[in-house]
Amino acid sequence: MCDACGCNPGTATASVAYKPMHDTATVSILRNLLQGNDEQAAHNRRHFDTCGVLAINLMSAPGSGKTSLLESTIDALQGTLRLAVIEGDLETENDARRIRAKGIPAVQITTGTACHLDAPMVHEALHAINLDSIDVLFIENVGNLVCPASFDLGQHCNVVLLSATEGDDKPAKYPVMFRAADLVVITKGDLLPCLDDFSPARARQNLRNLASHAPVLELSARRRDTLTPWVRWVRSAAAARRARVAQPAAVCASGQRGMQAPAA
């Protein structure tokens, strides 16, 4: 299926039974409608695991500061982890340019009118990235709190950003997205003193109401001193991923997303 690297995402098997009536039959399937995407995602994840790469799917509403956080993270890591970034936007190379300006390889996916990335898009982008030469791949999804949550890309962790300017009830309004988060990051924390209607405690409670155990971090991409817990989380997750790859038995069991996401 994949002409570029010669790999084969495999053939799906559906659960099929039917009762024929003359030339008419009702076929029972019970197949996930996103199975095609999920198979491609599993294939992407195998690529990551083969190379010991941690893949992080970064999701948020537009303007929550995903690219700014990545820029600050690149600065804070000071080259101690080898990074690459896949950028998803409807149009422009602007975000990829910002990342490349920091000396980090970036591939821009422009989706046209599609409001999310899917696993085949990421797979195509992977062919422009040397996975053997990186430790962490950030996939910055299209800014959108709805559809991206439904599409597995092959990532190991979902990180969802919630900016202080958006409102602390976002987890209640977008439960599908926040339920999928392995880590929630409250961004633009430097504005919190000016925003008396945003309560980090309420944001946490709204997240807990989703039965989510995801850690919540507060930071500002403009204040280096606030990035420490986030950078520690990324380092810890990357180390855990490398450790799993070093153990062959663990690699075989690494198909589940978020299994190695560390506590913050």
Partner 1 sequence: MNEALNVATRHGASRVSAVRVRVGPLSGVVPALLQHAYPLTAAGTCAEGSELTIDKTAIRVRCGSCGAESEARPQRLLCQHCDSPRVTLLSGDELLLESVTLHGVRRFADIREGGHV
Residues that bind partner 1 (CB under 8 A): 13-18, 20, 23-36, 146-147, 149-150, 171-173, 175-176, 179, 206, 208-213
CB of 208 to partner 1, least distance (A): 6
Q: Are 207 and 240 in contact (CB under 8 A)?
A: no
| Closest separation in Å from C-beta 115 to partner 1 | 12
Element (H, E) at 183: strand 183-187
Helix (H) or strand (E) holding 160: strand 157-163
Residue 16 or 128: the one with the smaller Cβ distance to partner 1 is 16
Q: What is the DSSP string of 187-249?
A: E-GGGGGG-TT--HHHHHHHHHTTT----EEE--TT-GGGGHHHHHHHHHHHHHHHHHHHSHH
DSSP states along 79-105: TSS-EEEEEEESS-SHHHHHHHTTT--
CB of 33 to partner 1, least distance (A): 5
C-beta of 16: minimal distance to partner 1 in Å? Answer: 5
Judge residue 102's burial from the number of C-beta atoms within 10 Å of its C-beta, 0-12 exposed, 13-18 middle, 19 or more buried: middle
Residue placing its CB nearer to partner 1 in the complex, 20 or 193: 20
Nearer to partner 1, 87 or 152 (CB): 152
Q: Tell me the C-alpha distance between 246 and 243, whole Å.
A: 5
CB of 113 to partner 1, least distance (A): 15
Name which of 82 and 179 has its Cβ closer to partner 1.
179
- CB nearer to partner 1: give 5 or 12: 12
